[in-house]
Amino acid sequence: MDRADPLDAEAPMPEPISPQEPEPAAAAEAPFEVVLTVSEPAGVGPLFRRLSTIPDATVTRRRSGPRDGELGVAEVLQVLVPSSAVLVVAIRTLPVFIRSRRSSVTVTVTRGDRSVTVTGENLDDPQKVYEITDRLLGDD
């Protein structure tokens, strides 16, 4: 069996790879970005771990500057999801997370200029999850 040495100058060069056009379906599935702010700073880590288990969701922790009239920085979670269906799954995890905390905690979900505050009470009805998702997605 005669194999060409990759360092041999006489070995044929592979054909260049031609640029491929992106698939239209891939362009249509641009990720949705939402930012989650937890009212209890100690809850950021546990929520990060919980959201990180959702397939197809990318979760990162980052620091956010203070809002008007506030001091200091807050740690927030940035969640990138490929579709509204994955966003629904992420939102559905919030009531269980909120109820698991020892103290009262709320989570504010923000996408662009739209925000929704989530508490354990306002997500007991599964239909509320879809309403919140629709409110966040708007006309997208």
Give the pLDDT of residue 2.
54
Question: What band does 79 get if pLDDT is binned at 50, 70 and 90?
Answer: very high
Instruction: Identify whether the C-beta of residue 62 lies closer than 8 Å to the C-beta of residue 75.
Output: yes
55 contact partners, CB below 8 Å, separation of at least 6: 86
User: DSSP E strands: which ranges in the chain?
Assistant: 32-38, 58-64, 74-81, 107-111, 114-118
Q: What is the mean pLDDT of the chain?
A: 77
Q: How many CA atoms lie within 13 A of 20 on its CB side?
A: 5
Give Cα separations from 51 to 23, 30, 108, 115, 139 (angstroms): 29, 19, 14, 18, 25
Give the pLDDT of residue 6.
47
Give the pLDDT of residue 52.
96
**Class of the CATH domain delimited by 30-137:** alpha beta
Closest residue by Cα to residue 115 from 33, 35, 45, 50: 35
Question: What band does 98 get if pLDDT is binned at 50, 70 and 90?
Answer: confident
Per-residue pLDDT tens for 10-66?
A: 545 445 444 444 444 433 445 789 999 998 888 999 999 999 999 999 999 998 766
Instruction: Give the residue ranges of DSSP H helices in 7-124.
Output: 24-28, 44-51, 84-92, 94-100
Residue 104 pLDDT exceeds 50: yes
